[in-house]
Structure 1
């Protein structure tokens, strides 16, 4: 998926070229792009313009987006977005797990950017209840000076109640201590049917919840109940997902690269070096390999 900053850069370059060449009509002939398309971009009427057309226009303009990583709508992205949206619209609570390199961060950032009143907390091993609530309030653009947990929790609830369809996304949740682990449920219990919450992490999150329930650790049974009795596993990106992203970043199906003295298909090489025995792809590895190959002058 081509992002907004890239679209803005293309629009700015179109305006620049129109001023140089004299008219949008003349530019459309030069770029071999319809005048209507150029007009729609200039006037921010771009809903029906495909990513492929954006890429074509940027290439015709000679723009170089090698340093910018572009995304495509992978299946994990679609599933994550659907759960985020379900939580937001219907005040649901979900627990999701994804493999590292599955595109989770982009999906979260993209959803937050597109949906007002969606707020984000990233957890760490040393995150305390106070840290968690302060980070959540900061995400909501609330400056609150109290350090008391009860005050911070009450303020979070007070602010959220005034919002339309608020949603909280809590990332890397498997890392926190037990007192923080049950905090989202305290928030939800105070805002039932008024807030959506998605907790998300690696497969270790599912293991931790299962073990906590098995041991009878306080709060774990309630947490599992609140998330519908199960932790949802988001599938890793497939080879098809990887191909879409590789193409979006300028390497096509016929490009080749030299590896260990042999000429090989660049896309097939990237995929073979990025997947595991289950044909699941690590998109972080894909990104590094695409960058390395494009440094050699291969791809658009």
Structure 2
């Protein structure tokens, strides 16, 4: 495997520096990274790479969302809508549940918003998350201690206390519909502690609508409180349009009409899923490069 060049390491360092600016201190930033000490962060930021392995650089890059892949984010309609929701929640400390199809660009918008704004914390939820996992992930993201011996309640209180002291903090919970009921109910406590002090945005597919409807219909524990705290309404993103796909192709260097038509045709068969669109654009670019190389 080819090792990282100094230019590669400098690029990761720049991304790490931007990541650290989202925290009150570099120590807090290092707390949010799994298996990365404050000393390592300090050495990288000071361009002292000698004792830092390529594996450590790669580990940091993966956790801060850095990639060497050349991909240009195109501000589609959904990207602008999602960014508006996130900015509104951060500025006015609102609580919103944003709903959109899989592959419509929710996660991309959220990660880009975190990259470009201070005091934004992104938590990716999963169906196998236990309450302890959920609390530790929140604590880790805000740079709070996550000692395994700590009481969960104390850990959550400490993390929320840190968030409450920040200027315009925002918590983003991606794929929130995957959380089990007992974990999702933690949202009530989080809201109660941070109401008027932080913005909270959940994101998911529209499956959450049916789940909340069923929870309300059968009077399941916590669902009335959750429904009230999100304003009794979901914010719906639009379906990705053909024009969005066309613009993404052009933004990422695919300008030939024949290649773009292939992408558009493929996208139609997958409901314009942007993950699929990205894959097909890369395939078309590789195909064009191979044809160019063969011609030479």
What is the TM-score of this pair, normalised by structure 2?
0.72
Determine if contact 2:124/2:174 at 8 Å carries over to the other structure.
Answer: yes
SS of 2:122's equivalent?
A: strand
- Residue 157 of structure 1: how far off its partner (Å): 2.0
What is the DSSP-based 3-state SS (H/G/I as helix, E as strand, rest coil) of the residue aligned with 1:170? strand
Give the one of 58, 74, 77 matched to 2:76.
74
* 1:218-229 correspondence runs (5 A): 218-229=221-232
Shift of 1:247: 0.2
Question: How many Å separate the matches in 2 of 1:183 and 1:268?
Answer: 47
Please name the residue that 2:276 is paired with. 285
2:205 matches 1:214: no
1:276: Cα distance to partner?
5.0
Deviations 1:216-263 (A, max 9, x none): 1111111111111112221122111111110011112xx25xxxxxxx
* Mapped pair 1:132 → 2:134: yes
Aligned to 1:132, the other structure's residue is in SS state: helix
Contact 1:184 1:197 in 2 (8 A): no
**2:238 paired residue number:** 235
CA positional deviation for 1:119: 0.5
| Cross-structure match for 1:271 | 264
Q: Does residue 177 of the first structure (1) align with residue 168 of the second (2)?
A: no
**2:20 maps to what in 1?**
none
CA distance in 2, matches of 1:67, 1:170: 25
8 A contact 1:121–1:170 mirrored in 2 = yes
Look up the match of 1:261.
none
2: CA distance, partners of 1:250 / 1:271: 15
Match of 2:107 among 101, 105, 119: 105
Deviations 1:175-232 (A, max 9, x none): 1111111212211101210011001111212221121111111111111111111122
After the TM superposition, list the runs of 4 or more consecutive aligned residues in structure 1 that deviate by more than 6 angstroms. none
Residues 139 and 128 (structure 1 numbering): CA distance in 2 closer, same or farther, change over 3 Å?
same
Unaligned runs of 5+ in 2: 1-6, 12-67
Q: Is the contact between residue 130 and residue 147 of structure 1 (CA under 8 Å) also seen in structure 2?
A: no
- 2:95–2:199: 8 Å Cα contact kept in structure 1? yes
Residues 98 and 104, structure 1, Cα contact 8 Å, conserved in 2: yes
Gaps in structure 1 of 5+ consecutive residues: 10-65, 257-264
**Which residue of 1 is the match for residue 46 of structure 2?**
none
The alignment covers a number of residue pairs equal to: 228
How many Å separate the matches in 2 of 1:150 and 1:141? Answer: 16
TM-score (norm 1): 0.71
5 Å-filtered alignment, 1:145-224, equals 145=147, 146-224=149-227
Separation (CA, whole Å) in 1 of partners of 2:155 and 2:202 = 20
Residue number among 84, 87, 90 corresponding to 2:89 in the alignment? 87
2: CA distance, partners of 1:156 / 1:193: 16
Q: Which has the larger radius of gyration?
A: 1
Equivalent residues of 2:102, 2:273 under 8 A apart:
yes
CA distance in 2, matches of 1:112, 1:184: 20
